[in-house]
Amino acid sequence: MKVSYHGHSVVKIETNGKTILIDPFINGNDLTDLKVADQKPDVIILSHGHNDHVGDTVEIAKANDSLIIAPDELCTFLSWKGLKTHPLHIGGAAQFDFGKVKLTQAFHGSSYTTEDQQIVYTGMPAGILLFIEDKTIYHAGDTALFSDMKLIGERHPIDLAFLPIGDNFTMGPEDAATAVEFLKPKTVVPIHYNTFPYIKQDPQQFVELVHSSEVKVLSAGDEVEL
C-alpha cells in the first residue's frame, strides 16, 4: 500500500489496484503537487463539505466515474450534481472492495459555499477510519481536540494518523499533541497548516511536543511506508 500526502488535507492511497483520494483540494491549493487533470481515483472520500476539502471532487469524479464516500447530506448534495455516492454517517462503517471505511465524530462545521454566495448545509463533519491491508489509517478531517479520541485509539489501534495542526479553525500544535497521546498511533503526520495566513504554523513545534509516536513532517508528494 502506498500512502502519500499532497498539501493541506489531501491524502492519496494506492492499494490493491485502487486509488483513493481524501479531501482533494487541488485548484487554489498552493501547497499541492497535484494537477486535477492527472487524477484518476476510483474512490474519493470526503470528511466534510467545506470548499477546501470538497475541492475539485466534482470535476475529478465526473471525469473518472469515481465513487464518493462522505457524510449523508454531503452525498445528497453531490448526487444532485450527477455523481455516484455512498453515504455514511458518524459511527457507521461499510465494506468496499479495497477495504472498510468508518466515520468518526469531528468537532467542526460543514457547509459548501456556492459561486452565487449561498451556503449549503452538508451535514455533520467527520473523521475517517480506513481499514486496508490489515492496517488502520485515521484521517481526522478538521476537528478540535475531544476526549473520545481515546476511545477511537483504544478500539482501533492506529498505524498512521493524519491530524490538523493549523489552529484558528482546528486543533493547533498543542492540542494536536494531546490528540496523539489519546490516539496512540504508531506514526502521525501533521496536516491542514500553512495553506492560508490564518493557519500558519511551524510543524517542528508539533514534532517537539509529541513523545509517544513517530512524527513525519511531509512535503507535497512525500510518501509514508505502511
Per-residue model confidence (pLDDT) at position 225: 85
Q: Quote the strand ranges of the chain, DSSP E.
A: 2-5, 11-15, 18-22, 43-45, 67-71, 84-88, 93-96, 99-105, 111-113, 119-121, 126-132, 135-139, 160-164, 187-191, 214-215, 223-225
Cα–Cα distances in angstroms (integers) from residue 211 to residues 8, 162, 168, 181, in the given order: 24, 16, 24, 8
Say if residues 128 and 45 touch (Cβ distance below 8 Å).
Answer: yes
From CA 150, how far away is CA 210, in angstroms rounded? 16
Contact between residue 210 and residue 216 where contact means Cβ atoms under 8 Å apart: no
Domains of the chain: 2-216 (3.60.15.10)
Low-confidence residues of the chain: pLDDT under 70 = none
User: How many angstroms from the chain centroid is the CA of residue 176?
Assistant: 15
155: amino acid identity, one letter: R
Place of cell 470548499: 51
CA–CA gap between residue 85 and residue 76 (Å, rounded)? 8
- Full-model pTM: 0.98
Q: In this structure, are strands 99-105 and 126-132 parallel, antiparallel, or unpaired?
A: antiparallel
- The 8-class DSSP code of residue 6 comes to -
Residue 211: what pLDDT?
Answer: 95
3-class SS at 8?
coil
pLDDT for res 104: 98
Enter the DSSP assignment of 162. E
